Structure 1
Amino acid sequence: MDPKVLIVEDDTNLVELLTYNLEKEGFATVQTEDGEEALVLAQEESPDIVILDWMIANLSGIEVCRRLRRSPATQNVPIIMLTARTEEADRIRGLETGADDYITKPFSPRELVARINAVLRRLRPAIAGATLSYADIEMDLGAHKVVRAGEAISLGPTEFRLLRHFLEHPGRVFSREQLLDAVWGRDVYVEQRTVDVHIRRLRKAINANGRSDIIRTVRSAGYALDSGVGQS
């Protein structure tokens, strides 16, 4: 699954340039020029990182950043802000609002790709390689194998994809609808309760032999991969 970038930018030429370069480097992209739509897409598309322009329609980039950080579903998504502002105070304001990095226009696409990779390596190391890991769980994508605490875990195809999605976004809460879109696909009709069935199967497999429950159920919200408490 390619890392997904949400591009929030109102300069059409720049969006086309960024989209081309990011997709060439193996990223999937989603674009919008509207701040309010960006908030919706961040919930629906579950991006791995957001490229956010300071000056956009309806909501400023700063306000979008602030709201993304307030929402449990998006509070851990890395954000890189783009801006023509060069003053130190503006850069500090962007970082204090919750941005993980800050690039001043003009910039080269190569620089942005390098910054994205650096942020992902730092904040989402799991998606930077062929092995995903969290706590005592390791998933070898090439060999299609899962190990917990050194012991091989047998998973069905759906449970494997479900665990992979969680491993790519540790700690993040996903609703049943978001999991359906990410694991089953938008073009497939599956009832939301199906998610609960596969979560139970996944739990049974990875929590066997008295291991701690690493999947957290968040009432009225969904599920998350969390080495802490199983319910909240």
Structure 2
Amino acid sequence: MSAKILVVDDDLESLKLIGMILQAKGYQIVAARDGQQALERAFQEAPDLVILDVMMPGMDGYAVCQRLRADPRTSTIPIVMFTAKGQLADKVIGLQSGADEYLTKPIHPRELIAHVEALLARAARFHATARPSLRAKVIGFLGCKGGVGTSTLAVNVSVALARGPAQGKKVALLEFRPGMSTLALQLGLPLRDNLQRLVEQPIGSLNAETILAQMERHPTGVMVLGGTPVPLGTVKPIPPLHADAITRHLGAVVDYILIGLVTAILIAILAITAPWIAPYDPLVQDVYTRLAPPSPDHLLGQDDFGRDVLSRIIWGARVSLLVGICSVAFGGLLGTVLGVLAGYKGGRIEIAI
């Protein structure tokens, strides 16, 4: 499939010309006329590369570039700033804003294509090394609230797997919880800040070897990477990109990964899915009306982990099984949400229960 390129320029003629040059080489084109539209297109279309003008009404190209770099969904997309602003100071600001290339108009079409091809090739090499093939079967445990036994069920299933069907295979148990972790306590393992040590490392330094070195081994053979048992809010949140890197690097060398998912993920799912299903389910409608503000961003505040883990761990990897745990009162709600997830058109969940 040909690469998808987002072209952002407030000048319609420039937009058409750049689009024609790229389409002649077989690229798919997504267009935007201003900064806000550019962000919306980037989040919706997930382009492989962005060609970005600087001088635009409202949000300029520098601000757009910074927003793209700050969001985990778009932080690694190659960005080419393509503008008539050719002063040295302009170029420095552009590169400091996060652009990979800074090109000035006018430019020969062959030179533009050469830069695009080079950036796409570089990005492909990066993703080939940074995102290893995920061979492990992934089982996620999703609790509707704290205290319903999510971690306990994850522990019991991992031990049962290691002693039974997966005996002789590698079973990893993870808990992406920034505080209030109970895995080590339940399994009688030393209380260490192993997960936090990994979170503090640059993503580029993470690999299977460094992750395995931070995992504790239970007598049953289960390898455990848990958070700390300290109160919530006293340690740094787990960045979604780190959670994704840890899961993928580990998934390339083990056979099973069991993940205790934080409650915020269910809140994010509710915020994203409830507008579609509320008209058909009175319970969902009632809960959404009482709990959900206009957008997932407001619902989750400053902590984007719940929302971003959807695309990075649940929808990005093939989850073999997603298990929901809740009290009877929330059974209908969680069942509806799991059903939506299992049938989501972009999803990769095989079974949800």
Which structure 2 residue ranges, 5 or more long, are not aligned?
Answer: 138-202, 204-246, 262-304, 318-353
Answer yes or no: is 1:53 the counterpart of 2:97: no
Q: Partners in 2 of 1:61 and 1:133 — Cα distance?
A: 30
Give the number of the structure whose residues are more often strand, by fraction.
Answer: 1
Q: Partners in 2 of 1:2 and 1:78 — Cα distance?
A: 16
Which string of whole-angstrom CA distances, capped at 9 and with x for unpartnered residues, describes residues 10-44 of structure 1? 22222112111211212100111111111111100
Q: Which residue of 1 aligns with 2:311?
A: 223
Number of residue pairs aligned between Structure 1 and Structure 2: 161
Q: Partners in 1 of 2:83 and 2:90 — Cα distance?
A: 9
Q: Which residue of 1 aligns with 2:43?
A: 43
RMSD of the alignment, in Å? Answer: 3.5
Q: Which residue of 1 aligns with 2:84?
A: 84
Q: Which residue of 1 aligns with 2:117?
A: 117
Once the two structures are aligned, what percentage of the paired residues are identical?
37
Q: Partners in 1 of 2:2 and 2:258 — Cα distance?
A: 25
Q: Partners in 2 of 1:105 and 1:40 — Cα distance?
A: 25
Contact between 2:133 and 2:252, CA under 8 Å: does it hold in 1?
no
Q: Partners in 2 of 1:51 and 1:78 — Cα distance?
A: 9
Q: Which residue of 1 aligns with 2:133?
A: 137
Deviation at 1:208, TM superposition (A): 9.8
Based on CA coordinates, which of the two structures has the bigger radius of gyration?
A: 2
Supply the AA of the counterpart residue of 1:223: S
Cα gap change, 1:214/1:133 in structure 2, threshold over 3 Å: closer, same or farther? farther
Q: Which residue of 2 aligns with 1:93?
A: 93
Q: Partners in 2 of 1:14 and 1:214 — Cα distance?
A: 50
Q: Partners in 2 of 1:115 and 1:214 — Cα distance?
A: 42
Answer yes or no: is 1:27 the counterpart of 2:23: no
Q: Partners in 2 of 1:214 and 1:97 — Cα distance?
A: 38
Which string of whole-angstrom CA distances, capped at 9 and with x for unpartnered residues, describes residues 163-195 of structure 1? xxxxxxxx9xxxxxxxxxxxxxxxxxxxxxxxx
TM-score after normalising by structure 1: 0.59
Please state whether the residue corresponding to 2:118 is helix, strand or coil: helix
Deviation at 1:135, TM superposition (A): 5.1
Answer yes or no: is 1:15 the counterpart of 2:15: yes
Give the number of the structure whose residues are more often helix, by fraction.
Answer: 2
Which string of whole-angstrom CA distances, capped at 9 and with x for unpartnered residues, describes residues 116-152 of structure 1? 111111123379xxxx6765539xxxxxxxxx59xxx
Q: Partners in 1 of 2:107 and 2:99 — Cα distance?
A: 18
Q: Which residue of 1 aligns with 2:182?
A: none
Please state whether the residue corresponding to 2:311 is helix, strand or coil: strand
Contact between 2:6 and 2:29, CA under 8 Å: does it hold in 1?
yes
Deviation at 1:224, TM superposition (A): 2.1
Contact between 1:17 and 1:109, CA under 8 Å: does it hold in 2?
no
Contact between 1:23 and 1:29, CA under 8 Å: does it hold in 2?
yes
Q: Which residue of 2 aligns with 1:211?
A: 255
Deviation at 1:57, TM superposition (A): 2.2
- Equivalence map 1:132-211=2 (5 Å): 136-137=132-133, 210-211=254-255
TM-score after normalising by structure 2: 0.40
Supply the AA of the counterpart residue of 1:4: K
Q: Partners in 1 of 2:83 and 2:113 — Cα distance?
A: 16
